[in-house]
Each structure stands twice: as structure tokens, then as C-alpha cells.
Structure 1
Amino acid sequence: MKISVQRYRATGGFRKSLKKRLVSSRTLIPAMIVGSIILLACLHVWQRVYVMGLVKEVSVLEKENNNLKDLVKKSNMEITELSRLSRIEEIATEQLGLTRTGSENLYTLSISRDDYKAEGLDDVVTSLKKIAENLPVLNETKAATNGIFESDEE
């Protein structure tokens, strides 16, 4: 039993002495400095590579954005060209065989817009009233109580 206790004490002493030797050694601090410099250098290189990848991705997206803007401009120009009145009249007369009518064949429909607006406004008002019925009610007492609790939290 004495031998095993002595061996155990010796192992513990060895561990303690190893820790003491590492902490008190002259090479630990320079090794930690060199290790941290290497770690920071690796981190810096990784960061630069990552940023360069992001720059490439941004340039690709900018090119795609510019191409889409050009496509939108071309489409708008094409819409303007196709919706010219002179072009539409030409197609109507030549291809479809349509002719202009005289004023005796025209009839104007008038729609009273006020009726439609009033109906829509009534619907909005009733919807807002229904929403207001379901909203929570806050009186002065509740507001004061909430103000007290909010000031305590800060």
C-alpha cells in the first residue's frame, strides 16, 4: 500500500512540476507570441481571400443588374414603339380592314363615379368599425400602471 501511495504522489508531483516548468520556462512566452502571430497571419490571409471572393460576386451581380436594366429599357422602348397610334391605325386599316366611323355612329356612355365611391367608402367605414370593436381598450389607470412597470425595468 505504501508503494502505491508513493507512486501516486510521485505522479502528482510530476504533473505539478511539469506545469511549473512550463509556466516558468523561458520558451513558453515566445512560443505563445509566435503561435499567435502565425494564427493572426492565417486569419488575415483567410479574410483577404474571403473578401476577394465577395468582390468577384458583387461584380458579377452588378453586371447582371446592368444587363437587366438594359433589357427593361429595351422592353419599354419596344412597348412605346408598338403602342404608337399611327402604327395601330395602319394595322387596323390595312390588315383588319377597319375604317373610321362618323360621329352619327358614336354613342357615349356616362358612368356616375360618385355612386361607386360612396359604396366603397361605406365598406371601408364598416370594416374599420369592426376592427375597432376588437382592439384592446387602454384607460388612464392601465397606462399609468404600464408606465410604472416600464420605468422599473430600466
Structure 2
Amino acid sequence: MSTGTVQNPKTQVIRNMKHDALQLEFTNDNGSALVEGQEVYVKSNGKVAARSTGAQIPVGIVLRGGDDGKRVLVRTYFTACMRGTAKTADIASGALIRQDGTVDANNVPNVVTAAAGNISCAICYLGGAVGAEVRYGIISGYVTKA
């Protein structure tokens, strides 16, 4: 009879990832540690926190967690990352945005914050002032802004 111990492997939270989503690093601004598997949203300061309400637009799940203020790796719901120019107003990080059908002087698409009733397929993850470059992720689907 053996008196050895049983080794339990670490629980695997994330399994069978097959989607070609992008992985991006963000700074944790949750107020506490973020852990593998938590769904996060981008705050207006461009940092991420755990999604806790239905009104927060999720951008992905944490693959590599970290303490508050540290960098975390997020498997985003984005299929592509784009750059655009904020056209008519400042665009906050975390906002649903849409292109307006025009381009700036450098042939970069102009983007605006999606208004109520607009259909959007993009989430801004690095906002900017009018005329400034913004960065956003294209999601594989569409969202109607409430």
C-alpha cells in the first residue's frame, strides 16, 4: 500500500481556443488582481477592469493575469486592429464606434462614437481628441447601440 500524495494539476480555465482573435496587453486598473478567464472591458483611461455590469462592453478574457497597475494579456474579441481619426468629437477608450464613410487627408478612415440606434462592429481601445489618431478593434459581429 502506497502512502504517497496525489498531485492535482492546476485547473485549466480556458480550453479549446480556436478563434483567430488577437492578443493585446493592457494595464490592469481593476483595483485588485485580474486572473485568467476573467472577462474585461476597456475603461475611458485605456486600461482594463473586470466586467461587472451588462452596460460595460467586453473586449476579451484575461490569458495572463496580474496585480492592479501591472500589465495583463487579454485575448480580445477583435479579428483586426485598425487606426482611424476622431472626426467630430473626442472618442473615449471603451466606446462603440463606427466609420462615417469619409477619410482624412492621409486617407485614414474617419470614425465617430456610435449614437443610439447605430450599428457598430468596433470598440475603441485607445481614444483621442478630435483630429487625433484612435485605435480600435473590429469584432466578429455587430452591436446596436442602445
**TM-score of Structure 1 vs Structure 2, range by shorter chain:** under 0.3
The structure in which a higher percent of residues are strand is 2
Query: Could you state the TM-score of these two structures normalised by the residue count of structure 1?
Result: 0.17
Query: Could you state the TM-score of these two structures normalised by the residue count of structure 2?
Result: 0.18
